[in-house]
Amino acid sequence: MSPNDEQDPSPQMSVVYCEPCGQSYALQQPATLCCPTCGRSPNSNLATITAIPDTSDDLRASAAQEVDALIGNHLGVYRLETLVGAGAMGRVYLATHRDLQRSCALKILPPRLADSDPNYVTRFLNEGRAAASLVHPNIITVHAIGAEQGFNFLEMEFVAGQTLRDLIEEDGPQTPERATALTARIAEGLAAAHTEGLLHRDLKLDNVGLAKRVLVDPLAPGNREIVGTPPYMAPELFDGAHATASSDVYALGVCYYVLLTGKYPFYHQDVVKLSQLVRENHIPNPRDFCPQLPLEMAECLYQMLSKAPSNRPRDAYAASQHLLAVLGQTEDLGSLLSEAFRGHQGITWSRTGDNYRVELEFSSGRHQTVFVEPSQHAAADRLLTITSICARADAAYYERALRLNSDFQHGALALREIQGQSYFVMLDSYPRSTVDAEEIRRSVLEVAHHADAVELLITDRDVH
């Protein structure tokens, strides 16, 4: 132990859970420490997990703010730009590699922890080497391990973009297909770790980034004693059992539940009461919050959230296979639109519930809106409809509209009642279960161009 630690023993701490940002961290007494992630002061929104002894180095890593003095300075070949996160293994900074001129994430172990416990350094480095052995498109890559100026560090891939928690906060619950597809991708990354005999221990939506691919942070394992974030913890963990692949699968199930409903299956600010809910209560029916959830997806969710570890998929690989089987060939609509219009200029889209609104700007300066919506039929018979409003239907234009219909290779001109008014609309449809990105791209573009041409011909305006 360093002389400073002997002269200034660390105070008694408690672990608290910050509900607004979903992080657990050490709260020193007196309570002067803000959440290192969101900066909120301890208040009624924070649930105390347990008192811990003052030798708990894992949680001091997240609160070790002395490393922040490096921001704006160089650590070897790295220039530290800003703090981006804190956890049981240390603090994470956005950095720039001087020689390669690329951004990276640098996870740094505070020196006083290294001085006080050499085993902690060994564990830090072993975790880094284990994570570096994982090569998977859905896992953040560890590039290097090193030490500089007394700081042990890990260099990791930096991926800009929102987390899945950000997605839920901004966009709300996802469609069943989208939620299942996202959960399957998380499971695929987690399966790569389980195959290597590695556990995550703190899987949650905050640790999953949504960029061009779903990315799981392999270096966000929970503290061995705390074992995760309360709403994501399996029942057996509250009883002091060791983390297993099965408890990781339970956390995966919680991620799936939140993606579907926007809610935790169980939550209480008092963690003792939360543990009772998790161990004793039935899972709230997800179809109460997501009525369109197919039964087979609900059954998959229930299996992952089973109270008994033996009733869950044995590991993330088994969970991923179940999720993919349930998903079948029905790729979620958001992913299809991303693939269809990747690189297209002047095309944007937004989602409301299950429906998407695509906005197109043509080279002529005119605009057109296209609606991409699944029908309400049973899953086997469901259609994807692609429509665009042309103009109000005037009987004087009916004959001309019929003649135009014969010229369209994709879609058809039809009449539709919208808010009590009759409109000419361009309409196309495909079986939802088999439609692909190219079919969506071609149909949206043709429907939009035809609808705009009809509107121009009939009204000489650009309203829809």
DSSP 277-334: HHHHSPPP-GGGT-TT--HHHHHHHHHHT-SSGGGS-SSHHHHHHHHHHHHTT---HH
pLDDT of amino acid 47: 41
pTM for the full predicted model = 0.58
Q: What is the pLDDT of residue 394?
A: 77
- CA-to-CA dists, residue 48 to 72, 269, 277, 288, angstroms: 34, 8, 16, 30
Instruction: Give every CB contact of residue 322 below 8 A, 6+ residues apart in sequence.
Output: 300, 303, 313
Residue with tokens 């959230």: 305
Going by C-beta distance under 8 Å and a sequence separation of 6 or more, which residues neighbour residue 73? Answer: 79, 80
In the block, which residue shows the tokens 């105390």? 48
Q: Is 227 left (phi over 0), alpha (psi -120 to 50) or beta?
A: left
HSE-up of 34 (CA within 13 Å, CB side)? 8
Task: Write down the domain spans for the chain.
Answer: 3-157, 162-327, 333-459
Task: Give the residue from 385, 364, 382, 379 showing the smallest Cα distance to 447.
Answer: 385
Residue in this structure with the two tokens 């961290």, named with its chain if needed: 25
Residue 447 exposed, middle or buried by CB count within 10 Å (0-12, 13-18, 19+) = buried
- Res 45: pLDDT: 38
pLDDT at 330: 60
Strand order in the sheet with 383-392: 347-352, 355-361, 367-374, 383-392, 421-431, 412-418
Q: Which fold has domain 333-459?
A: Yope Regulator; Chain: A, (3.30.1460)
Give the chain's end-to-end CA distance (angstroms, integer).
Answer: 71
The yes or no reply on domain 162-327 and CATH 1.10.600.10 is no
What is the distance between the alpha carbons of residues 268 and 198, in angstroms, rounded to a whole number? 30
* Distance of alpha carbon 122 from alpha carbon 133, whole angstroms: 17
- 122-148: burial string, b at 16+ Cβ within 10 Å, e else: ebbbebbebbbebebebbbbbeebbee
Q: Which of 56, 53, 45 is nearest to 17 (CA)?
A: 45
Give dist(CA 14, CA 53) in Å, integer: 8
Q: Which amino acid is at 437?
A: A
Q: Are 138 and 181 in contact (CB under 8 A)?
A: no
For residues 430 and 444, the answer to whether their CB atoms sit within 8 Å is no
Q: CA 9 to CA 55: how far, in whole Å?
A: 10
Calculate the CA 212 to chain-centre distance.
Answer: 12
The pLDDT assigned to 55 comes to 36
CA-CA distance, 82 to 86, in Å (whole number)?
Answer: 12
3-state SS, one letter per residue, for 184-210: HHHHHHHHHHHHCCCCCCCCCHHHEEE
Q: How many CA atoms lie within 13 A of 329 on its CB side?
A: 8
For the domain covering 3-157, report its CATH number.
3.30.200.20
> Would strands 208-210 and 162-163 be described as parallel, antiparallel, or unpaired?
antiparallel
Cis peptide preceding 30, ω within 30 of 0:
yes
- List, in order, residues 6 or more apart from 459 with CB less than 8 Å away: 391
pLDDT in tens, the chain (464 residues): 333 343 343 444 444 555 555 555 455 444 445 555 555 555 443 343 333 333 344 444 444 455 667 788 888 899 988 887 765 567 788 899 988 888 888 888 877 666 777 777 887 777 777 777 766 666 777 888 888 888 888 888 887 767 788 888 888 999 898 899 889 888 988 888 888 787 877 788 877 754 433 444 554 544 334 456 889 999 999 888 888 999 999 999 999 999 999 999 999 888 888 899 999 999 999 999 999 898 889 999 999 999 999 999 999 999 998 998 887 656 678 888 988 998 888 899 888 877 899 999 998 889 999 999 988 765 556 788 999 998 888 777 777 766 666 666 556 778 888 888 888 888 888 887 778 889 999 999 999 998 888 888 877 788 87
**Which pLDDT value is given to residue 333?**
83
